[in-house]
Amino acid sequence: MSFKKWWLIGLGLALVLATLSPLASGSPDGLQKVAEQQGFSGTATQSQFQIIAGYLLPGIHNETLSKIVAGWLGVGVMFAAVYGIGWLIARKKHSSPSL
Amino acid sequence: MHIPDGFLNVPTLAATGVISAGTIGVAVKVAAKKIGEKQVPLMGMLAAFIFAAQMLNFPVAGGTSGHLIGAALCAILIGPWAGVIIMSAVLSAQALIFQDGGLAALGANILNMGIIAVFGSYFIYRLLTKILPESRRGKLSSAAMAGWTSVMLAALAAAFELSSSGASPFNVVGPAMLGIHALIGIGEGLITMLVVSAVMASRADVLQMERI
């Protein structure tokens, strides 16, 4: 298998995982649970702005679909952003004179 | 274990922010020396995979859930400095776009899950792969332990930050955080082992590439 095919399959798996995200447990996570038990969960403050808060894309009323699309968007954004960062770092490597 | 805004005080936010920013700077410098052609798409793919896997909370005991961090996967599959970059990017996107984890607390979340968890699991994996037999089983056991340890270290760091912020005394929040994350860490260990095993079966050479 070529390396490109391999990482494309990995990327595809990420999309599959995002598609399964509506099945995730909605229970509080470890930190939230501890905060509730120890009485400081109420000190949490809301963000000043909300873009895709709670992994639900605004504008899609079906919550399941909204979460799936938000997950796909996130997968795309993460791949593009970190590929871009890696590319910039690699370019810096090749353009700098070797010491 | 994304810390929201409001839990940490200003000195803790400032200290963790400075440490994380400085470490990311070093990570970029180290990566610029070592990055190869193949590692660019690998970084992107890992970031996308970890982001998606983090959405999948699995239930653990007592009405609590946990999800993958992915720090150990980064440490094992690409190396710790690239891992810091990948995890910082994921945590930043989660805070900025998805309002998961506070914006002011981003430095603390990067320190816990993107730096301490990454380097902790990297050293545990290296240590265990030296001690255990050089077999598939040895590597997979090391990966599972690295995953579990990464969660425990991140939980310990979060407990320190919470106690230094006055949210809860350390002798209370420390054991509580470690107790629940000892269970969540089992999930991290299993997923880490599963993914490393899949990489071994499909492209074992990825594990032979130079660590960044």
Closest approach of chain A CAs to the CA of B128, in angstroms? 27
Residue B131 Cα, gap to closest chain A Cα (Å): 30
Q: Give pLDDT, residue B61.
A: 86
Do the domain assignments include residue B166?
yes
Is B3 within 8 Å of B108 (Cβ atoms)? yes
The total of structural domains in chain A comes to 1
Distance from CA of B127 to the nearest CA of A (A): 28
A78/B89 CB distance under 8 A:
yes
Mean pLDDT of B129-146: 95
Counting the structural domains of chain B, the total is 1
> Residue B92: inside a domain, yes or no?
yes
Chain A residues 31-70 with CB within 8 Å of chain B: 31, 33-35, 37-40, 43-45, 47-48, 50-55, 67, 70
Q: Of the candidates B7, B97, B177, which has its C-beta nearest A43's C-beta?
A: B7
3-state secondary structure of A45: coil
Cα separation, B74 vs B80, in Å, equals 7
* In A24-85, beta strands by DSSP E: none
Domain assignment of residue B22, given as a range: 10-208
Tell me whether residue A8 is in a domain. Answer: no
Least CB–CB distance from B173: residue in A20, A38, A77 = A38
A76 found inside a domain: yes
Chain B residue with minimal CA distance to A13? Answer: B49
Q: Which residues contact B104 (CB under 8 A, 6 or more apart)?
A: B5, B8, B13
The model scores a pTM over 0.90: yes
Structural domain including A99 reads 56-99
Q: Is the pLDDT of residue B21 over 60?
A: yes
Q: How confident is the model at residue A99 (pLDDT cuts 50, 70, 90)?
A: very low
DSSP letters for chain B = -PPPTTSS-HHHHHHHHHHHHHHHHHHHHHHHHH--TTHHHHHHHHHHHHHHHHT--EEETTTEEE----HHHHHHHT-HHHHHHHHHHHHHHHHHTS--S-STTHHHHIIIIIIIHHHHHHHHHHHHHHHS-SSHHHHHHHHHHHHHHHHHHHHHHHHHHHHHTTSS-HHHHHHHHHHHHHHHHHHHHHHHHHHHHHHHHHHGGGGGSPP-
Range with the poorest average pLDDT among A38-47, A88-97, B81-90, B111-120: A88-97
pLDDT at residue A92 in the model: 77
pLDDT digits (tens, 9 = 90+) for A41-54: 999 998 888 999 98
Q: Residues with Cβ < 8 Å from B184, sequence gap 6 or more?
A: A29, A30, B60, B64, B66, B67, B151
Cβ B55 vs Cβ A17: under 8 Å: yes
CB pairs < 8 Å spanning A and B: 212
Query: What pLDDT does residue A42 have?
Result: 93
Helix axes B136-164, B117-131, angle to 10 degrees: 150
The candidate with the shortest Cα–Cα distance to B82, out of B47, B49, B55, is B47
Distance CA A55, CA B90 (A): 14
Least confident of A48-57, B37-46, B143-152: A48-57
Residue B24 falls within a domain, yes or no?
yes
Name A9's Cβ contacts closer than 8 Å, sequence gap at least 6. Answer: B202
Helices (H) and strands (E) in chain A — how many of each?
3, 0
Confidence of residue A95 (pLDDT cuts 50, 70, 90): low
State the number of CA atoms in the 13 A half-sphere of B119 facing the CB.
13
How far B8 CA sits from the closest chain A CA (Å)? 9
| CB of A77 less than 8 A from some CB of B | yes
State the Cα torsion A1-B118-B80-B7 to the nearest 10°.
Answer: 120
Residue B53 resides in a domain: yes
- In B, minimum Cα distance to A20 occurs at B56
CB contact under 8 A, B167 and A26: no
Q: What residue type is assigned to position B186 of the chain?
A: I
**Average pLDDT estimate for A81-91:** 95
| Interface contact A51-B96, CB threshold 8 A | yes
Query: Does residue A51 lie within any of the structural domains?
Result: no
pLDDT: which is higher, B62 or B12 = B12
**In the predicted model, what is the mean pLDDT of chain A?**
92
**Per-residue confidence (pLDDT) for residue A21, from 0 to 100:** 95
Q: What is the CATH number of the domain that holds B93?
A: 1.10.1760.20
Angle (deg, nearest 10), helices B170-203 and A30-37: 170
Counting Cβ atoms within 10 Å, is residue B205 exposed (0-12), middle (13-18) or buried (19+)? Answer: exposed
Range B183-195 average pLDDT: 97
